[in-house]
Amino acid sequence: MIPSDLTLGERLFVALQRVLPQHALSALMYRLTRWTWRPFKNILINGFVAQFRVDMGQAAERDPTAYPSFNAFFTRALRPDARPLAPAPALLCPADGAMSRCGTIQRGSLIQAKGHSFTARDLLGGDAATAARFEGGAFATIYLSPRDYHRVHMPLGGTLTAMRHIPGRLFSVNAVTARAVPGLFARNERVVCLFETDVGPLALILVGAIFVGSMETVWAGQVTPAPRGAAPKNTPETQVRLERGAEMGRFNMGSTVILLLPPGVLTWDPALKPGSPLRMGQALGNLAGTK
């Protein structure tokens, strides 16, 4: 049920998403953002920079028109000094964005928005055994806006144990939709990445959204959409170890990252609250048992 306190425009926005061909629109956006015809891609990029006030001074390549496509611009690398890492024992923020929610996983549930929650088991694709390892632990949901840096980094060092692509819907993940669509993050398409770390299991979940149906990891490349006829990509046969602050994946367009940690290992920064602006590499809190 759509909350009664939403405006008429917000209610229509949410209702429209339920009937739109979400994956078809995402596929169209995928093609448009990879078009390399210079006049077209330059209009897209320059218009985007102006509309969202993108700070190109932080980019490794500062000239917006130097990127071969809109997607190359959107997933641009930053200067090496643009995102300094908070010193250990801090848990690093994995992405630029805003804090949607953070807190404790209680009775298997994570808070989505006022009046809405979803379960860790559903988020992880029905994996009850893995969800149980996070019971009583910490979670954070980070929303990436269009203007943000769209690469995702490791909040602490870890070894990959599993990767799962979970098909689903592609609702918007903004605050309005989070308030109106029950179980939003466990309904949308997502890529679940599980790691073992010095403090136990770590989950990083890349959640897709409308126009954002393409996600990548550094070990598997583009996970979704999979090339036509290709088998789903799963955990690689060779061991993948990523150090603290290393890039682990990216969104081709923006979306949401959810991280999960086991109980008793994290003390949150008390200043964090819903809507807090975040930058990759800043401290979300302090970890016990790390160096």
Q: What is the DSSP string of 64-123?
A: GGGSSSHHHHHTPPBPTTSSPPPPTTEEEP-SSEEEEEEEE-BTTEEEEETTEEEEHHHH
Beta bridge partners of 92: 283
**Could you say which of 96, 122, 148, 269 is catalytic?**
96
Residue 184 and residue 1: Cα distance in Å, rounded? 13
Clarify whether 109 is annotated catalytic.
no
| List of residues 6+ apart from 123 with CB closer than 8 A | 110, 131, 185, 186, 190, 192, 205, 258
pLDDT computed for residue 96 by the predictor: 96
pLDDT computed for residue 1 by the predictor: 52
pLDDT computed for residue 115 by the predictor: 66
Clarify whether 255 is annotated catalytic.
yes
Is 22 within 8 Å of 41 (Cβ atoms)?
Answer: no
Is 154 within 8 Å of 94 (Cβ atoms)?
Answer: yes
**Could you say which of 69, 100, 214, 255 is catalytic?**
255
Residue 66 and residue 49: Cα distance in Å, rounded? 13
pLDDT computed for residue 179 by the predictor: 79
Clarify whether 153 is annotated catalytic.
yes
**Could you say which of 26, 153, 172, 214 is catalytic?**
153
pLDDT computed for residue 23 by the predictor: 78
Q: Is the dihedral of CA 204, 142, 182, 24 positive or negative?
A: negative
Using DSSP bridges, classify how beta strands 283-287 and 190-197 pair: parallel, antiparallel or unpaired: unpaired
Alpha carbon of 71 to those of 152, 190, 206: distances in Å?
A: 16, 19, 18
pLDDT computed for residue 140 by the predictor: 96
In tens digits, what is the pLDDT along the chain, a chain of 291 residues? Answer: 556 667 777 778 777 777 778 878 888 888 889 999 999 999 999 999 999 999 999 999 999 999 999 999 999 999 999 999 999 999 999 999 999 999 999 999 998 876 678 999 999 999 999 999 999 999 999 999 888 999 999 999 999 999 999 998 888 887 788 877 888 889 999 999 999 999 999 999 999 888 777 899 999 988 888 766 565 566 666 789 999 999 999 998 768 999 999 999 999 999 999 999 999 999 999 998 665
pLDDT computed for residue 139 by the predictor: 97
